[in-house]
């Protein structure tokens, strides 16, 4: 009974069950949910949890600078701990209704800080033997491959939730809309939000550039149906999109963290970067191809 209650509690704090895999729900999210319950009892704000998560993740990267087992295990533990808190902050915000612009900024910033620290300290560790080449590999793996993989995976989850739940219950934004909001704000009163929207609009635009067929479909839907997309069309897209959600999960945290942990445990951390550039890129392009094909194949005229 208690387990069933726990699972229901976890699911109530998820954005969507469609976008979460078995491991995410029953391992990662369950630990995050328990932490969220703990923080709720202590009346701790979600933003505080996020900041602690950022610190833990950054410290994890520092631990990977050393090649002894003790530092390696501490690095692994700190990154897992940071991820629990990263899950907990969103779940806590949905439990308590304490959502803010700063919270959204910090949440988007957290994972970038973790992995920047990880790439940096691994590169520093390998510099004596690799020289500049490890920095070039690290920059390509991190700034080009890793960042694009996470951005598109996040975007596809939001697109899926748009069809599943509707525009008012998802976080699918357009760069055009964000630029319009930014220009409407005044520097004297809303400088912080204006700066945020500038960078967020650029980020959203980068997601849109990677998904041209999806953009065409969304634009056509908006012109033809507004916010009243036919139920049959929603279901059609959801059926095609749901199998791709496992790839979005692979391209975010769990898979790359697992490979990272193995590579540092065997004292060959460069393998993680090679994995990022090869295997993760293959999954990225396959997912993108499947999603673009799905968008092209939907015949809107059949859903009048």
88: which residues sit within 8 A by CB, 6+ positions away? 32, 33, 35, 36, 39, 49
**pLDDT value at residue 212:** 95
Maximum average pLDDT range among 117-126, 166-175, 218-227 = 117-126
Phi/psi of residue 34, nearest 5 degrees: -65, -40
**CB environment 54-89: b (16+ within 10 A), e (fewer):** bebbbbbbbbbbeeeeeebebbbebbebbbbbbbbb
**pLDDT value at residue 39:** 93
- State the pLDDT confidence band at 167, using cuts at 50, 70 and 90: confident
Q: What is the mean pLDDT of residues 182-206?
A: 92
Q: Please tell me which residue, 225 or 53, carries the higher pLDDT value.
A: 53
Look up the CATH number of domain 1-128: 1.20.120.1760
Q: pTM (2 decimals)?
A: 0.90
Statement: residue 195 has pLDDT above 90: yes
- In which residue are the tokens 């940071």 written? 82
Domain ranges in the chain are 1-128, 131-173+207-304
**pLDDT value at residue 302:** 45
Kindly report the average pLDDT of the chain as a whole number: 90
**pLDDT value at residue 118:** 98
**pLDDT value at residue 198:** 94
Statement: residue 102 has pLDDT above 70: yes
Lowest mean pLDDT among 23-37, 132-146, 152-166: 23-37
- In which residue are the tokens 């994995």 written? 275
**pLDDT value at residue 80:** 95
Return the closest-CA partner of residue 42 out of 95, 108, 80, 2.
95
Q: What is the mean pLDDT of residues 96-112?
A: 85
Residue pair 228/304 in contact (Cβ under 8 Å)? The answer is no
| Percent over 90 (pLDDT), the chain | 67
- State the pLDDT confidence band at 138, using cuts at 50, 70 and 90: very high
Please count the other Cβ atoms lying within 10 Å of the Cβ belonging to residue 3: 8
d(CA 118, CA 34): 27
Write the pLDDT tens digit of every residue in 6-33. 666 666 666 666 777 666 766 777 888 8
Distances (CA, A) of 53 to 90, 110, 196: 12, 7, 21
């Amino acid at each position: 009974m208690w387990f069933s209650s726990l699972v229901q509690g976890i699911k109530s704090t998820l954005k969507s069950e469609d976008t979460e895999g078995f491991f995410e729900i029953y391992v990662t999210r369950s630990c995050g949910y328990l932490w969220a319950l703990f923080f709720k009892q202590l009346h701790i704000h979600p933003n505080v949890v996020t900041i602690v998560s950022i610190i833990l993740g950054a410290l994890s990267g520092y631990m990977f600078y050393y090649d002894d087992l003790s530092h390696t295990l501490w690095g692994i533990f700190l990154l897992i701990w940071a991820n629990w808190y990263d899950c907990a902050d969103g779940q806590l915000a949905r439990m308590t209704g304490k959502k803010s612009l700063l919270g959204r900024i910090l949440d988007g910033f957290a994972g970038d800080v973790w992995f920047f620290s990880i790439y940096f300290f691994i590169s520093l560790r390998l510099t004596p033997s690799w020289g500049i080449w490890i920095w070039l590999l690290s920059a390509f793996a991190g700034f080009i491959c890793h960042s694009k993989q996470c951005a598109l995976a996040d975007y596809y989850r939001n697109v899926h939730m748009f069809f599943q739940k509707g525009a008012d219950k998802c976080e699918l934004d357009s760069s055009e809309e964000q630029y319009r909001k930014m220009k409407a704000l005044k520097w004297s009163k809303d400088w912080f939000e204006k700066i945020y929207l500038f960078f967020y609009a650029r980020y959203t635009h980068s997601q849109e550039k990677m998904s041209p067929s999806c953009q065409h479909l969304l634009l056509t839907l908006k012109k033809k149906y507004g916010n009243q997309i036919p139920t049959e069309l929603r279901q059609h897209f959801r059926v095609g999109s749901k199998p791709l959600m496992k790839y979005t999960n692979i391209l975010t945290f769990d898979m790359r963290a697992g490979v990272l942990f193995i590579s540092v445990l065997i004292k060959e951390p460069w393998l993680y970067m090679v994995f990022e550039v090869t295997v993760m890129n293959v999954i990225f392009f396959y997912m993108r191809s499947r999603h673009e094909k799905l968008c092209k194949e939907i015949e809107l005229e059949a859903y009048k």
